[in-house]
Copies of this chain bind each other. A is one copy, B any other.
């Protein structure tokens, strides 16, 4: 909200400055009224575009690719377990995950079991669903 206050302040200041400049210039006959109006028009068109852009940017990140790191550690999920979780969500088997992470299938199974406990899931598919709900993996 600080930004909004700043923008409107700048807007008012700009308005006053332009008033004075245009008055002064006109009185002296230096500048044509068309020029003054054009400058005003362009400036405020630009302000309108800028304000709208900075507002619309806030609405774009509706997709939750923002991973909640706090929840991961709150659940006690370790670095390695998390890596396994990501591979599970991609649809890989335990064997494939083992090959990817350079560990045996046995190790992967251990990690998976721990993940299921920590996410309170009965199956890996349920773990995927819960992890996405908790926003700890990208959807």
Taking Cβ atoms with an 8 Å cutoff, the residues of A that contact B are 15, 18-19, 22-23, 26, 33-34, 36-38, 40-53, 56, 59-60, 62-63, 88-93, 121-130, 132, 139
What would 6 more interface pairs be, CB under 8 Å, given A40-B40, A45-B47, A91-B126?
A15-B41, A23-B33, A59-B60, A89-B129, A91-B125, A92-B125
Question: Measured between alpha carbons, how far is A88 from B126 in the docked complex, in Å?
Answer: 9
A63, chain B: closest CB distance, angstroms: 6
Question: Measured between alpha carbons, how far is A40 from B18 in the docked complex, in Å?
Answer: 12
A92, chain B: closest CB distance, angstroms: 8
When C-beta atoms are compared, the residue in chain B nearest to A41 turns out to be B44
Question: Measured between alpha carbons, how far is A33 from B60 in the docked complex, in Å?
Answer: 40
Residues of B with C-beta under 8 A to A45? 44-45, 47-48
A26, chain B: closest CB distance, angstroms: 7
Contact call A22/B15, Cβ cutoff below 8 A:
no
Residues of B with C-beta under 8 A to A52? 48-49, 51-53, 56
List, sorted by A's number, 24 A–B pairs whose CB atoms are closer than 8 Å: A19-B34, A19-B37, A26-B33, A33-B33, A37-B37, A37-B40, A41-B41, A44-B44, A45-B48, A48-B49, A48-B50, A48-B52, A49-B51, A56-B56, A56-B59, A60-B62, A62-B62, A62-B63, A91-B121, A91-B123, A91-B129, A92-B125, A93-B122, A93-B123
